Amino acid sequence: MRKHVFLAAGLLAAALPAVADENLFGYVRGSEVLPKGSGEFYQWVTQRNNKGTGHYRAVDTKTEVEYGVTDRFQVSAEVNGLAVKSQGLLINGYLPKDIDSNLRLQGFEVAAKYNFLSPAKDDFGLSAYTSFEYGRLDVHSGQKKRELEFEAQLQAQKYFLEGQLTWVGNIGLRAAHEKRKAIADLPEDFEWPTDPEMEISTKIGTGLSYRFAPGWYAGVEALFENEYETEVGQERWSVFGGPSLHYGGKQWWATLTVFRQLRGGGERYDGQPEKQLHLIERTRNELRLKVGYNF
Amino acid sequence: MSAHRWNAFFLPVAVLAGPTAYATDYLTVAQAQEQLFPGAQFGEQTLKFSSDQRDRIKAAAGVRQRNEEMKVWRAEKNGKLQGWLMVDEVIGKHEFITYATAIGADGKVLGIEIMSYRETHGGQVREQAWRKQFVGKTVSDPFKLDQDIQNISGATLSCRNVMDGVKRLLVVQQMFLKA
């Protein structure tokens, strides 16, 4: 463990003498796009942990490349990874068995973003974002599941104090078609539906970030999500919130967000200790680190 | 590498503390003076703004006068006033952009120079083609991106803040530096 910490520290320290651009937040995104002909490489790592019972920790990775096709239109492609460790918690229909998996390929994603208004030029920024994702693992249980997902989002941004203070707002809709793969050795009376199912979810997010020193931003962000599913109607809702710290320079930037579930509802598992949270598909805590490189 | 071992990637951003400075300074004040007022003699003065004066600047310029003090150099040649050189800084995407503006005795911009620029995109603000758009501007000009000042994609905030900054300096000159 210590070896990995030092390795990562060394890589980051070596790679971050100079940094820059977007992504002041971990979960909500601004309206700006890359200029024509420029690119950006991102590496995200998200840790989700604590379902109230047992030991649960999942790590999502996202490796992304963005490219500015025109000054208003950018495209991106992503490769996603997943590692899940879950012990001492079985949830009927959701967490069928203990697991301690290595990082595995979770899926692929392509996205496009079109900028209608620039926050610096038009005083209010607005972009439309769409993505299409193919997934091969259930991000909650780590079990095999085929998922096709489409998401559309409006991303707004407003500068205050000549850009020292930045507000962003997101509103989005996601639709997914999912089919789980059968599991042979399920516990008795345990459900693991393998019929195709549809999910629709909405997402509303907002964030405010203040530049407290050259290159350094401190912010807060919040995300309200609602998910509806074929079988159960409203399956879950949750409100996450937390602080973000961002450092950006000429080519590199990094953002760290500590996200905590503040309220949640919908389905609960038997014996769930915290009734005011949704802990079946979401966790109590999330931590996200993003690093970006402009080229 | 399983889930718990991925903690290695969650180093506090404190690792990033004390980043190596990557500032690129292109011009000193003396060089900016020579570029904008060749052969002139300079007299330095410091303008100190009260809260009320800063409010008046904001009302006329549309943007804040962030600093309470501003250094100004009065440029003369053979005892005749040529104008003023003002060195100012505005917010870029991540760092401050330092620029010098020369304003003539008639209240028109004679030229600007970018003294330091450290942003990812928009290095073209240093090019003469972009800077010369300001020549001849007065406080009554529109100062609108893509109207009378061309925007540079990927550096819109920098362009906007330099443009607004030049207008603010014209307001300061009009209020405090009459010939």
- Whole-angstrom CA distances from A282 to A162, A203, A261 are 37, 14, 8
Confirm whether B55 is domain-assigned: yes
Which tokens is A27 given? Answer: 């979960």
> Closest-CA residue in chain A for B144?
A121
A162 contacts chain B (CB < 8 A): yes
N-to-C CA span, chain B: 72
Cβ–Cβ of A9/B11 closer than 8 Å?
yes
Confirm whether A18 is domain-assigned: no
Q: What is the per-residue pLDDT for A232?
A: 78
Cβ–Cβ of B22/A250 closer than 8 Å?
yes
Which residues sit opposite A208 in a β-bridge?
Answer: A167, A220
The ipTM is 0.81
- For chain A, the domain total comes to 1
How many residues comprise chain A? 295
Confirm whether A125 is domain-assigned: yes
**pLDDT tens per residue, range B12-53:** 443 443 443 444 678 899 999 999 999 999 999 999 999 999
Domain, as residue range, for A63: 23-40+50-247+260-285
Of the candidates B158, B53, B115, the residue with the CA atom closest to the CA atom of residue A120: B158
Count of CB atoms situated within 10 Å of the CB of A5: 15
Confirm whether A17 is domain-assigned: no
A152 contacts chain B (CB < 8 A): no
Confirm whether A2 is domain-assigned: no
The reported pTM is: 0.86
Cβ–Cβ of A162/B13 closer than 8 Å?
no
C-beta separation of B100 from B115 below 8 A: yes
Which tokens is A278 given? Answer: 């949704």
User: Can you give the pLDDT of all 295 residues of chain A as single tens digits?
Assistant: 444 444 444 433 333 333 334 689 999 999 999 989 999 999 999 999 999 999 999 999 999 999 999 999 999 999 999 999 999 999 998 999 999 999 999 999 999 999 999 999 999 999 999 999 999 999 999 999 999 999 999 999 999 999 999 999 999 999 999 999 999 888 788 889 899 999 999 999 999 999 999 889 999 999 999 999 877 788 899 999 999 999 988 788 999 999 999 999 999 999 999 899 999 999 999 999 999 998 8
Count of CB atoms situated within 10 Å of the CB of B131: 19
Burial class of residue A207 in the structure, from the number of CB atoms within 10 Å of its CB (0-12 exposed, 13-18 middle, 19+ buried): buried
Domain, as residue range, for B26: 20-176
Cβ–Cβ of B94/A16 closer than 8 Å?
no
Confirm whether A112 is domain-assigned: yes
A11 contacts chain B (CB < 8 A): no
Confirm whether B65 is domain-assigned: yes
Which tokens is B161 given? Answer: 């803040």
Confirm whether A45 is domain-assigned: no
Which tokens is A53 given? Answer: 């019972």
The span from the CA of B53 to the CA of B31, in Å, is 30
Confirm whether B15 is domain-assigned: no
The CATH number linked to A171 is: 2.40.128
Confirm whether B27 is domain-assigned: yes
- For chain B, the domain total comes to 1
Confirm whether B86 is domain-assigned: yes
